[in-house]
Amino acid sequence: MSSLSPSRQRQHQKLQSHGQAQNFLNLIHESGEDYFFLATKKQDEWEQQNALQSPSEVHVLDDRDYYYSPNSFFVPKRHQNTVGKFKCLFIDLDTYKLNDYSPEENYCNIHFEIFYEGKLPLPNLRVFSGRGVQLIYLIHESPIQAKNRWNACQDIIYQIFKPFGADPKTLGSQSILRLPGTFNQKNGRLTYYELIHGSKYCMKSFLKQYSPKVKRIGSTKKSKKQKKTNKSKSNKSKFKKLMNIKTLNYGILKDLEKLAKLRNYDLHGYREMILFLYRLHSLKNDRSPEEALEDTLAFNQTFKEPLPERMVIRDTRSAERYTDKYNFTAEWIIKQLEIDEEELKHLEVVIGTEEKNRRKKEVNREKRRDASGLTEKEKAKAKHLERLKKALRLNPAAKKTELAKELGVSREQVHRLLKDLEDDNCVK
C-alpha cells in the first residue's frame, strides 16, 4: 500500500485538526448568548478577530495562527470590563525559553515537581502549543462579580509556574491563547490537547486549599444591634431608594440619547455598546423585555449608520440575562463610550468624579449668594472697596501701609483692592 504524499498528509492533518479545534472549544464554550473570540495572526500581524456564540461557527482553519478566548463576554467586544463569565483558570508556559527539550518532555518535569508534589491539582486539559504548554483548569461558571477571586486564583497559578516559563502577558481575563487543532506557524507543528479529567473546580475551594493565607471574600458578621439599626434605617429609606434607582436608570437613558445627539448620531465603533446599555437600562427602568427591545431598535434608527435589526437583537440580548447582575458605574460607561470632558458637561447622570466635584462647587457657590447675588466673601470685598474709596477721598496721597491700618487689612490686600479700583475705573 502506497503512503500519502506530504501535501496529502498535510490536508489529512487539517481535516483532523478542524475536528479537534471544535471538540476543544465545546469543552469550554457551550452555545449561548455570551460571546467568545477567535483571532488570527499571519507573520506576526493580527488579521481579524471574530466574536462567536457557538463552537459550531468555527468552520475553516487555514495556515494562519489561531487564538481563542478562554472566558466569554456579554457583548462582542473583548475587554476585561466586558467579561460575562469566567470559564476557566489557565497558564501559558513558554518552555522553549528554558531548554531544548520538547514541550512534552518539559511537561513530564512539571508533572513531577508540581502535581506529584501536591503544589497544585491536575489541570483538566493540557495543550501542547508547538513550542510550549498550556494548562487549563475548568471551573464552575462565575459572573464578573467573582473577578477578585478569579484574579487571586490566577496569581497563585502564575507564582507556582513562574520558574517554568509562565507568560505574565496571558494572565488577564480578556487574554487569548493558541487554539489546539491548528498549526503553529513558527515551527510548523500541529498543536493538540489532551483531556486529563472532566471534574470542574470551585474557585473558593481552590483558594482555600492552595492559598490558606488568602482571607475569606465577604463581609464579617454584624452584631444584632447593628443589624437592627441598619434594618430600621433601611425601612425608612426604602421608598426613597426605590425612586432614586428608577430616576437613575431613566437619567442614564436620557444621557445616552443626549450623547448620541452631541455626536450628531455618528456612533460608529460604539453602536453595540451604547445599544446594549440602552436595552439594559430600559429593562432596569421597569420596561418589559418587548418594550425594551422596541425602544432599543427605535434608538438604533436615529443613528447615521444604524445596525441591521438582527444584529441589534443579537448583540444586546444578553441585557435580559444581566439585568439584575450588573450595575455599571458612571466611570465604566464613560470609559467604554470614551466620553470626553466637553460632552460630560451636557450629561446629568453619567458624569465622572471631576465633573461631579465641579458641579458641587458651583452649587455651593450659588448657595452662598444672598438676595443681591453676592457671596459672603464678595460682600466683604465690596465693603472694603467702599471704605478704601472713602479713605482715598479724604487723603489721596495716603500710602498703602496707612490705608492697610485704616481698613484693618494687610498691605498686600490693599494692593489688590487698589488694582480692582483701577480696573473698574474708580480711580481717576
* Residue carrying the nine cell digits 464678595: 378
pLDDT at 320 over 60: yes
pLDDT at 2 over 70: no
Average pLDDT over residues 146-175: 93
pLDDT at 22 over 50: yes
In residues, how long is the chain? 428
User: Can you give the pLDDT at residue 249?
Assistant: 87
User: Can you give the pLDDT at residue 19?
Assistant: 76
Q: Of residues 269 and 428, which shows the higher confidence score?
A: 269
User: Can you give the pLDDT at residue 37?
Assistant: 92
Average pLDDT over residues 320-349: 87
User: Can you give the pLDDT at residue 212?
Assistant: 55
CB 207 within 8 Å of CB 152: yes
Question: Helix H segments across 111-162?
Answer: 147-161
Q: Which three three-digit cell numbers place residue 223?
A: 452584631
Gap between the Cα atoms of 66 and 39, Å rounded? 6
175-187, pLDDT tens digit by residue? 999 999 888 888 8
Average pLDDT over residues 163-188: 91
Question: Helix H segments across 29-146?
Answer: 103-110
Q: Is 8-210 in CATH node 3.90.920.10?
A: yes
Gap between the Cα atoms of 95 and 106, Å rounded? 7
- What does residue 181 show for φ and ψ, rounded to 5 degrees? 90, 10
Mean pLDDT computed over every residue of the chain = 82
Range with lowest mean pLDDT among 109-113, 218-222, 248-252: 218-222
CB 273 within 8 Å of CB 77: yes
User: Can you give the pLDDT at residue 240?
Assistant: 46
User: Can you give the pLDDT at residue 214?
Assistant: 40
User: Can you give the pLDDT at residue 422?
Assistant: 74
Q: Of residues 219 and 197, which shows the higher confidence score?
A: 197
Q: Which of 54-63, 83-92, 97-106 has the highest mean pLDDT?
A: 83-92
Average pLDDT over residues 30-58: 82
227-284, pLDDT tens digit by residue? 555 555 555 555 444 447 778 888 899 999 999 999 999 999 899 999 999 999 999 9
pLDDT at 1 over 50: no
User: Can you give the pLDDT at residue 8?
Assistant: 44
Range with lowest mean pLDDT among 1-5, 138-142, 295-299, 386-390: 1-5
User: Can you give the pLDDT at residue 201?
Assistant: 95
C-beta neighbour count of 75 within 10 angstroms: 22
Q: Which of 28-37, 175-184, 385-394 has the highest mean pLDDT?
A: 175-184
